[in-house]
Chains A and B, each alone.
Chain A
Amino acid sequence: MLANALVGNRLDAPMLETSLTELRLRATGNLVVSVTGAASGVYVDDLPATLAQPFSLRAGQTLRVGAPAKGLRSYVAVHGSIEAASFLGSVAPDPFIGFGRQLQEGDVVHTHDATTPLEHPQFGTAVIRPWAVAAHGGRPLSTGASVVAAADHHVVVDVTPGPDSAMFGTTRRRLFEDDYVVTPNSNAMGIRMSGATPVRTKQGEILSTGVPPGAVEVPGNGELIVLHRARGITAGYAIPAVVTTQGLDVLAQVRPGARVRFRAVESDEAIKSLRAERQALEATTMRAVAILAGHSVNASAASGWA
């Protein structure tokens, strides 16, 4: 969402995600783009650009998003957003139902509108700081960098109480007493972790229910699963905790082998923090929109500037 905010898009506009690998994109028109997340570096024709800052990409230039040294995912947003097929309100690929587009070398991605050629002296400098609005009551917006920096140590992930917390008695404390290690069989259904898990002390059949992304399931084999977007229903498991919406953003950057430490928060704190982040994102978007609009007024006058 930050990548979209930085180029003045709707926060939920389609954008590109890349996991683990380097991504190279050549612009066929003039674009304003931003890159956030775990990328080790961002380059325009091999000259360094800044992560989590909007910048101009002229027709013919190549954007390189470096493979992450730590962390997992990076995001590329284009002002005006990109074209993508939508199903049930989402453009996100879902390998389980066979929907969505995975880019291959040589593919062409279309942007929604032709941006005015941008050649603005301010772009390339830090004109839109994603943390500049932190004074509005939020903490600095995560650019992915803080998570990535922690990825070698333990990553702190907030959880709120689960609806079945009481079924685990005092063993629920184990969630917060030690690290969990992310295991390689994690996917969009769930992120699996090994460690000392809570154990159900209160037995009895539970009928299957729906679950939010972030619900922690304890199948009882020394693993816990943080269920994610491609989850199904519970299959009768009790839920001792739920990872917060912001905690899921943190988990999006963990690789197998990463150590995760859960931290207990109350749901009203989680909502407060989420709202502050949203306010900061919206302020960032408005700032970007204003700057881009201000620029486009002068577009013809400035077009000779280089």
Chain B
Amino acid sequence: MTAPEHRRSNRLDVVEFGDSYLRARAVDGSDEDRWQRVHAVADRINAREFAGLESAIATYDTVVVQFDPFNLDHENATALLHGVASDLRPVDHESREFMVPVLYGGEAGPDLDDVARAQGLPPDKLVARLTSVSRVIRCFSHHGAAMLDGPDLPRNVPRRHDPRVSVPAGSVTIAGRQSLLHACASPSGWQLVGRTPLQVARLEGNSLTPYRAGDVLTYRSIDEHEFRNLHGTRLEDFLVNVP
């Protein structure tokens, strides 16, 4: 039996998003609640627990769901989705933490000095701010790129006027009050401040990256010597807490 207040706290605002997708926004609760809820919905859908709901992409307060248009339409897919949201179980996996070595500045992070100047901080103080805190992976941005909370800086970091056609795999970029770890080379309009020598993406198993939303990344500043030594090592070997 579902209590009415329970149902209300799981409410999703669902709208159509093309001929075979829905967009569902969590409408009440704290930011943290809504984020947890949309990711819990996505996890169950991506585990293929519901015939006809094929995949889901969760971000902050929204989950976008792909349904099978040959067996469902928007109406019954929406009903199915409300059913998923009203029957959420606690997440069954622990959050894991990865310690990520990053070479800041120089060729690996050509925008570090500009960002530091705009913040009124010496570059080493900026690096200290970027490395001092463990940060939660909120969602994926593109091609396995981890979107993280923070960094805590005096001002919003502007995007580059001249976006780069490509930043290498392992790049660490920041904009606004968010940062990204790029699993693969990709175009980027964000400020490039550093790069990890680790191999983040892998073309095997059932996910492109060893981390998932809800896991935690902690950056550690390294020098060029360590960068060369660690080059190509796999990120999964830098798991801190093995559950």
Contact = CB atoms under 8 A, between A and B. Distances in A.
Interface of A: 87-88, 96-99, 160-163, 189, 207-212, 214-215, 230-233, 239, 242-245, 267-268, 270-271, 274-275, 278
Contacts of A268: 73-74
B142 A271 contact: no
B151 interface: no
A209 B203 CA distance: 25
Contact of B206 (A88, A189, A211, A232): A88
A211 B187 CA distance: 18
Of the candidates B17, B60, B70, B74, the one having the most CB atoms from chain A within 10 angstroms of its own CB is: B17
* A-B pairs with lowest CB-CB distance, top 10: A232-B142, A210-B57, A242-B18, A210-B64, A270-B19, A212-B21, A209-B62, A207-B60, A212-B18, A163-B15
Contact of A207 (B62, B184, B203): B62
Given A245-B19, A274-B19, A274-B20, 14 more contacts: A96-B185, A96-B186, A97-B208, A162-B17, A189-B187, A207-B60, A208-B60, A210-B56, A211-B17, A230-B142, A233-B142, A242-B18, A245-B18, A268-B74
B17 A163 contact: yes
A232 B143 contact: yes
Contacts of B66: 212
A160 B141 contact: no
Given A207-B59, A214-B18, A97 B203 contact: yes
B59 A163 contact: no
Interface residues on B, range: 35 or more
A230 B143 contact: yes
A230 B144 CA distance: 11
Interface residues of A: mostly helix, strand, loop or mixed? loop
B61 interface: yes
A127 B117 CA distance: 72
B18 A267 contact: yes
Contacts of B147: 208, 233
A96 B182 CA distance: 11
Contact of B143 (A96, A239, A244, A274): A96
Nearest to B63: A210
A162 B185 CA distance: 30
Nearest to B19: A270
A274 B140 contact: no
A233 B143 contact: no
A121 B80 CA distance: 51
B23 interface: yes
Given A212-B18, A233-B57, A274 B62 contact: no
B59 A210 contact: yes
Contacts of B64: 209-212
A275 B68 CA distance: 11
B12 to A, nearest CB: 13
Nearest to B208: A97
Contacts of A189: 187
B141 A232 contact: yes
